[in-house]
């Protein structure tokens, strides 16, 4: 079989069309259909690997992630919802998340790399400078217009994204971004 769109392969439930990926996932979910999985694997595994390599992963990491993505497809086919995404979107989202997880794992310090014992005491001069900067920032924040100050507080102290702020306040995203940008410019000017 050549794997082109429209090609067919027999499975226990009849022909599988290679261009009907949702049906393949259903057959994996319902019947653990190995022929459907093999077809999906042949089509998507090389594409997932290429996608990961184009997004910066080395060949070994891309291969490992592609294998994990396809294993996830086999084990979690029941989680696919065709009303929310296409099979390709679902698979590539899994791939993206696997890559992020793998990169985080690579960047995590090993226990032997973590510092032990109490941290060194900061110099008094550094402490005094930090206190003065904190007071100056507090004063600069207090002098911001209330609408700008509120958005800065939500974004930086509330750790909310611009989209989350928009959802909470009902303000347009562009307005939020503009106010935050203006507020940050004012703060930078005041902190000089």
The pLDDT tens digits for 70-121 are: 999 999 999 998 888 899 889 988 988 888 888 777 765 555 555 565 666 7
Q: Examine the pLDDT at 4 and tell me if it is beyond 50.
A: no
Say whether domain 125-190 belongs to CATH 3.40.50.720. Answer: no
Residue 128 Ramachandran class (φ > 0 left, ψ -120 to 50 alpha, else beta): alpha
Helix %, strand %, coil % of the chain (to 5):
70, 5, 25
> How far, in Å, are 99, 130, 132, 135, 137 from residue 124 at the CA level?
43, 10, 12, 16, 20
Name the phi and psi angles at 16, rounded to 5.
-110, 125
The pLDDT tens digits for 39-76 are: 999 999 999 999 888 888 888 888 988 999 999 999 99
Q: What is the pLDDT of residue 73?
A: 92
Question: Looking at the domain that runs over 8-107, which CATH code has it been given?
Answer: 1.10.1740.10
Beta-carbon count within 10 A of 6 CB: 8
Q: What is the pLDDT of residue 19?
A: 58
Residue 133: pLDDT band (50, 70, 90) is confident
Q: Examine the pLDDT at 1 and tell me if it is beyond 60.
A: no
Q: What is the pLDDT of residue 160?
A: 81
Q: What is the pLDDT of residue 26?
A: 93
Name the phi and psi angles at 9, rounded to 5.
-140, 145
Q: Examine the pLDDT at 191 and tell me if it is beyond 50.
A: yes
Q: What is the pLDDT of residue 109?
A: 56
Q: What is the pLDDT of residue 46?
A: 93
Rounded distance between C-alpha atoms, residue 159 and residue 142, angstroms: 19
Q: Give the single-character DSSP code of 154.
A: I
Q: What is the pLDDT of residue 68?
A: 92
The pLDDT tens digits for 155-181 are: 877 778 888 888 888 999 899 999 999
Rounded distance between C-alpha atoms, residue 78 and residue 125, angstroms: 60
| Residue 30: both structure tokens together | 């319902």
CA-based torsion, 94, 100, 104, 107: positive or negative: positive
Q: Examine the pLDDT at 9 and tell me if it is beyond 60.
A: no
Rounded distance between C-alpha atoms, residue 176 and residue 169, angstroms: 9
Rounded distance between C-alpha atoms, residue 65 and residue 101, angstroms: 10
Residue ranges of domains in the chain: 8-107, 125-190
Q: Examine the pLDDT at 138 and tell me if it is beyond 90.
A: no
Counting Cβ atoms within 10 Å, is residue 65 exposed (0-12), middle (13-18) or buried (19+)?
buried
Q: CA nearest 154: which of 174, 185, 182, 176?
A: 176
Rounded distance between C-alpha atoms, residue 38 and residue 32, angstroms: 11
């Amino acid at each position: 079989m050549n794997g082109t769109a429209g090609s067919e392969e027999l499975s226990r439930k009849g022909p599988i069309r290679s261009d009907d990926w949702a049906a393949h996932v259903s057959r994996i979910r319902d019947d653990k259909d190995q022929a459907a999985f093999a077809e999906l694997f042949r089509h998507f595994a090389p594409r997932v690997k290429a996608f990961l390599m184009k997004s910066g992963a080395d060949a070994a990491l891309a291969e490992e992630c592609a294998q994990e993505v396809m294993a996830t497809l086999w084990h979690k086919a029941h989680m696919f919802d065709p009303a929310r995404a296409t099979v390709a979107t679902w698979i590539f989202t899994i791939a993206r998340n696997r890559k992020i997880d793998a990169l985080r794992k690579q960047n995590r310090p090993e226990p032997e790399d973590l510092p032990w014992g109490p941290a060194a005491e900061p110099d008094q001069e550094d402490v005094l400078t930090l206190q003065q900067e904190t007071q100056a920032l507090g004063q600069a924040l207090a002098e911001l217009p209330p609408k700008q100050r509120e958005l800065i507080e939500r974004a930086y102290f509330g750790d909310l994204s611009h989209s989350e702020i928009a959802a909470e306040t009902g303000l347009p995203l562009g307005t939020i971004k503009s106010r935050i940008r203006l507020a940050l410019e004012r703060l930078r000017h005041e902190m000089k």
